[in-house]
Amino acid sequence: MVAHTRSIHILDPCPEDIPEAQGRSAELTGLAGKVIGLLENRKYHADAFLHELQKVLERDYGVKKVVYATKFTYSAPCAPETIDTLVGACDAIIHGIAD
């Protein structure tokens, strides 16, 4: 006779890593002369929206430069090196999503 053992696997839905608490950056006094990062998430129309936003920022708000970056996929966190590049180069970052 063969004995069968059954087990139940309980999954914990909590994240394994606890994110590091970070404070807010200093408030920008304006956008003129600033470098703004635009981070696209690859959802449908996100690129079109952010490219239009880039035109508005440069034309109407005097933004000096826009740094454009794209996530690998909308369903995963952004690569740390992409975030690090944007943080190092930009005064502010806008993460654009669309559908």
Task: Please indicate, yes or no, if residue 16 is contained in any of the structural domains.
Answer: no
Task: Please indicate, yes or no, if residue 48 is contained in any of the structural domains.
Answer: yes
Task: Please indicate, yes or no, if residue 85 is contained in any of the structural domains.
Answer: yes
Task: Please indicate, yes or no, if residue 3 is contained in any of the structural domains.
Answer: no
3-state secondary structure at position 68? strand
Tokens of residue 53, six digits: 């936003």
Task: Please indicate, yes or no, if residue 59 is contained in any of the structural domains.
Answer: yes
Task: Please indicate, yes or no, if residue 46 is contained in any of the structural domains.
Answer: yes
Summarize pLDDT for 26-45 with one digit per residue, the tens.
Answer: 888 999 999 999 999 988 88
Task: Please indicate, yes or no, if residue 67 is contained in any of the structural domains.
Answer: yes
pLDDT averaged over every residue in the chain: 89
Task: Please indicate, yes or no, if residue 1 is contained in any of the structural domains.
Answer: no
Domain span at 41: 35-96
The model's pTM: 0.74
Distances 33 to 29, 54, 61 between C-alpha atoms, Å: 11, 14, 9
Summarize pLDDT for 55-86 with one digit per residue, the tens.
Answer: 999 999 999 999 999 998 888 889 999 999 99
Say how many domains are in the chain.
1
- Return the DSSP state at 26: P
Q: What is the helix (H) or strand (E) element at residue 93, kind and residue range?
A: strand 92-96
